[in-house]
Structure 1
């Protein structure tokens, strides 16, 4: 073939491909929206069936990038060839909540459970309603979670234990272990992230499980830290060689949980009511041993995945706002009636410290990346747009948390008194740090109280300062958030962005 012929042939192929692509693009993003006005508009992308947007990009709503294009209307996006709906409006989110049968959350739960090793057969047992029953196993367990975690006697019991363990751990004599990087006697250099994680995860573990769990899994906290550091890989279906640490830590924890489940009830008398009934109900359901372990592991991970991260961010914000820290100390000091190293008056702390509550809510707003998801079971109308059966929809709650119409012109900034100046924000329909409707996180009551107590006790019992850098004028910078992939909860700091602090015991007053 002559060179000219080859060139002409290539040009013809290129022209045909270009014409095909132009036809596809014109139809997809210009003609189709005109013909199907009742369906959500789709965010344009250049290459069919390729990634156009990640879950992270949905957070651009916070900066109005996508809001300018679509307003508050539902819209569509293609991720890895799958078309998804995005619901940005608080009103439309409420409409989603009101349609739990047609817009179903269960497929997402099943998908997440499968990541922990729970089989389709086990999931079927959990979600199938047997003849003569009004609720399936999963619905019953959700009710049990609410019974344990909503205000009442059972919450009071586990909360008293949890807060007591935090109070017990946040003392100078127990500031040791892997969180301490340098020990100078009366001064220690500490990883704030590790300190927060160890204290909170340990307290939550002891509050819900008997101490016998530590006998069966002595390195539980260290293994959990490894798992959490690697957990970003969980939804990505990476090959085995890329998840060795993740799988190894999971196996180690599961081995301890397996031994723990074999203990008699008398050998673990301090199990919370929730753990006790969870184990009994798994027996009634006839789950195999491995499946019981996977279910218990999934509970342990979800229980411990967020509170310590929120504590880290709260203390970080306070360290970079020293005047605010001093103002907060003045507010919380009356709770420590017998001196700053005493156990605080919790009623005063939770009911008479509005600045403490506002700071915690504001940091929660800024650092939480919750995303609600549903599967469309039948064609339905939301926000005036038809959502088609079989597709998934996403509700990027974080976008709502940055809506200037609700949170003000400074919605993207840290304003510690925002929830004091506008008290209705904490219950506003656009503020969804714990989701909503039937799947409203039942742990929200205890989570708020443990982070408030941790913050108050840490500030009163320790003098914490930023660690200065080695070079002249090199001061610690505020930790950068890892925004590569939303976690569905509190985001972690980026690698190398842990806050290293100097810690001394405060003078007894």
Structure 2
């Protein structure tokens, strides 16, 4: 009878019914029977299309996908998996499991991800092989008692060691920090020597600025000059704009969308940056370039490696700074508290010594950024709370051998991801107000800054070496801005009067200031997310300390 019924149904309909039936059987097996038969495997978040899995959702709104996974696991923070481009990605959000994952350097490797990044940044195959080659006696790149590379590291790990030496607290990091502050201070002014004119939203209002443009332009410019001197600016005066554009679309390169038949938005700035980086660079690169020459890295691949390092140095600082300033501008009490903390860090320099952080303009004041970083509890709490809520990145590892974490078996050949936002919003750690911006949580319980559920800089052997420098750059920028200018929301009343208070009739001050900007979570996150396009914070600033003479 069924055969007769099917015979009367048109073939296309029959084919669709058969495919639908097979799909239902497959889905029942994958997400009902298989988990029952293999309880030690992390559960997969169900999907309908084999191989494709959650690929579209991951690249369109990864944060929403991960939240859906947590809800599927009843917010238990048990390990689960998503499937992207046919490959399982294990998702870990429980603090104890995260700690175990960072400790397992044998079964979980960062080198696989690093290798994929190098290829996506267009490091050529031969250069890739040479970069991972460990020098052995008799090799073309082996020098006995090598003064530059005494441990005979492969180029990849040599570069890592050099950057750690530069970025970890000490003499080298301090010089880099001072170079950043000096450049930022020179840029943070109006006129031909500054960058603020480039941030203006309305030429008729002299000092109405885009806060986001202000943070991006000044910080990217200062980082570029502190790492490369004026070299890249001399090669290409638009180097800062190229890097800002590249960073906006860098996710395309990281996830392998930067190449192909059709040119993507990241291609043009990437080409411009690569062209500038093919010359002779300054800074710690003087130590890297001779080793690159010895190993035999071609110019194109060398520029690609330098671009990776350059991009990593600027990719997060301006977004963090923007959010902190936005929070301050929308909260009078926070603004005044931070203003007081930053003011306490300004010092009189020794006689006849120009201030490295004032550009030589104001000889009577000098910013002690180390004091500021160590003695600003309110600013540090805001900094940490911003990192907690706005960090959409995640630590990624390749599973190189079968291992067990949290009672779940990870199969070799798959990947592991520790999404920081889901880790940072674990209700069991942060409480019922987990999604609210509340810096007092870090003031009331200082141990939260060291909690395993707070990992804004990663963990294990790959913890970000530049976290001290990044903090000093953000704190220094804010201190210089608040010292030099009076800042207020463009559409609101002065911050010390009514910006965050009710109006005279007792109603909320809605409408007098624009809505607080929303975070952009529409593209894969590589760190601190910026605001959604069109939701900038517009500010009016007035110079407090005009030039002398």
- If the length of structure 1 is used for normalisation, what is the TM-score? 0.89
Aligned pairs, number: 495
Correspondences of 1:146-295 after superposition (within 5 Å)? 146-173=164-191, 174-184=194-204, 187-234=206-253, 235=255, 237=257, 243-261=263-281, 271-272=282-283, 274-295=284-305
d(CA) in 1 for partners of 2:154 and 2:27?
46
Q: Give the distance between the partners of 1:410 and 1:64, measured in 2 at CA.
A: 21
CA 1:325–1:281: 2 relative to 1, 3 Å? same
Which protein is richer in helix relative to its size? 1
What is the correspondence of 1:413-432 to structure 2 with a 5 Å cutoff?
Answer: 413-432=436-455
The residue number in structure 2 matching 1:489 is 527
Within a 5 Å distance, the mapping from 1:85-484 to structure 2 comes to 85-131=90-136, 135-173=153-191, 174-184=194-204, 187-234=206-253, 235=255, 237=257, 243-261=263-281, 271-272=282-283, 274-337=284-347, 342-468=365-491, 473=511, 475-484=513-522
**Correspondence for 1:264:** none
Sort the Cα spacing of 1:455 and 1:5 in 2 relative to 1 into closer, same or farther, 3 A.
Answer: same
Q: Secondary structure at the match of 1:83?
A: strand
**What 5-or-longer segments of structure 2 have no aligned partner?**
138-150, 350-357, 493-509
Of stretches 214-223 and 499-508 in structure 1, the one that deviates more from structure 2 is 499-508
Matches of 1:391 and 1:164, distance apart in 2: 46
8 A contact 1:62–1:403 mirrored in 2: no
Partner deviation per Cα, 1:163-208 (whole Å, 9 max, x = no partner) = 22223333455253421233457x4111111111111111111111
Please give the secondary structure, in 1, of the residue aligned with 2:243: helix
* Cα distance per residue 1:131-183 (max 9 Å; x no partner): 35763221222111111111122112222222222233334552534212334
Q: Deviations over 1:387-439 (max 9, x none)?
A: 11111111112211111322232221111222211111222111111111111
Partner secondary structure for residue 66 of structure 1: helix
Distance 2:87 2:368 in 1: 53
In structure 2, the residue corresponding to 1:196 is in which secondary structure? helix
Instruction: Name the structure 2 match of 1:33.
Output: 35
Question: Structure 2 vs 1, CA of residues 51 and 21 (structure 1 numbering), >3 Å: closer, same or farther?
Answer: closer
**Which deviations, in whole Å up to 9, do the C-alpha atoms of 1:314-335 show, x marking residues without a partner?**
1111111123212221233222
Mapped to 2, the partners of 1:62 and 1:11 lie a distance apart of 37
1:482 Cα deviation from its structure 2 partner: 0.9
Written as runs of structure 1 = structure 2, the 5 A alignment for 1:6-25 is: 6-7=8-9, 9=11, 12-25=14-27
Q: 2: distance between equivalents of 1:114 and 1:239?
A: 11
Which structure 1 segments of 5+ residues have no match? 262-270
Of residues 498-507 and 444-453 in structure 1, the stretch that sits farther from structure 2 once superposed is 498-507
Aligned-pair distance for 1:120?
2.9
Deviation at 1:443, TM superposition (A): 0.7
Residue in structure 2 matching 1:48, options 50, 58, 67: 50
Does the 8 Å contact 1:49/1:80 carry over to 2? yes
TM-score of the pair, normalised by structure 2: 0.83
Moved over 4 A (4+): 2-6, 8-12, 58-65, 238-242, 337-341
**Is contact 1:370–1:434 with CA below 8 Å preserved after alignment?**
no
**For the aligned residues, what is the CA RMSD?**
2.8
Give the 3-state SS of the residue equivalent to 2:397 in structure 1: strand
Q: Deviations over 1:203-224 (max 9, x none)?
A: 1111111212211122111222
Asked whether the 8 Å contact 1:227–1:250 carries over to 2, the reply is yes
Indicate how the Cα distance of structure 1 residues 244 and 64 shifts in structure 2: closer, same or farther if over 3 A, else same: closer
Report the Cα distance in structure 1 between the residues aligned to 2:470 and 2:478, rounded to whole angstroms: 12
Counterpart-to-counterpart distance in 1, 2:165 and 2:434: 35
> Which deviations, in whole Å up to 9, do the C-alpha atoms of 1:106-132 show, x marking residues without a partner?
111111122211123222222233435
CA contact (8 A) 2:62 2:523 kept: no
Q: Measure the CA separation in 2 of the matches of 1:334 and 1:302.
A: 31
Displacement of 1:4 in angstroms is 9.1
Q: Distance in 2 between matches of 1:232 and 1:303?
A: 15
